[in-house]
Amino acid sequence: MGAVGTIAASWVVSPLLAGTIGFVLFKSVHYLIFEDDNPFAAAKRYVPGYVFLVGFIVSMVTLTKGLSHVGLELTFNQSLLLSILLGGVIMGIGWLMQRRIKFEHNAKDHFSYANVERVFGVLMIFTACAMAFAHGSNDVANAVGPLAAVISVVQTGGEIGGSALVPWWVLVLGGGGIVVGLVTYGHKVIATVGTGITELTPVAALPPRWRRPRRWYWRQALACRFQRPIRW
The per-residue pLDDT for 85 is 95
Q: What is the pLDDT of residues 97-116, one digit of tens each?
A: 888 888 776 655 455 577 78
Give the residue among 127, 124, 139 at the shortest CA–CA distance from 58.
127
How many domains does the chain fold into?
Answer: 1
Cβ atoms of 119 and 43 closer than 8 Å: yes
Backbone angle region of 156, left / alpha / beta, with phi > 0 → left and psi within -120 to 50 → alpha:
alpha
Q: What is the pLDDT of residues 69-99, one digit of tens each?
A: 666 778 888 888 999 999 999 999 989 988 8
Dihedral sign for Cα atoms in the order 130, 164, 166, 152: negative
Contacts with 76 (C-beta within 8 Å, 6 or more apart), sequence order: 64
100 domain-assigned:
yes
The per-residue pLDDT for 216 is 52
165 domain-assigned:
yes
- 37-56 burial string, b = 16+ CB within 10 Å, else e? eebbebbbebbbebbbbbbb
232 domain-assigned:
no
Q: Model's pTM, two decimal places?
A: 0.69
For the chain, residues with pLDDT lower than 70 are 1-3, 66-71, 105-112, 160-164, 194, 199-200, 203-232
137 domain-assigned:
yes
90 domain-assigned:
yes
Strand boundaries in 122-197, DSSP class E: none
- For residue 44, what are the domain limits? 3-226
Contacts with 73 (C-beta within 8 Å, 6 or more apart), sequence order: 67
Contacts with 137 (C-beta within 8 Å, 6 or more apart), sequence order: 66
8 DSSP 8-state letter: H
Give the residue among 182, 87, 85, 83 at the shortest CA–CA distance from 126.
87
231 domain-assigned:
no
Hey, how many other C-beta atoms are within 10 angstroms of the C-beta on 59?
A: 22
From CA 164, how far away is CA 151, in angstroms rounded? 9
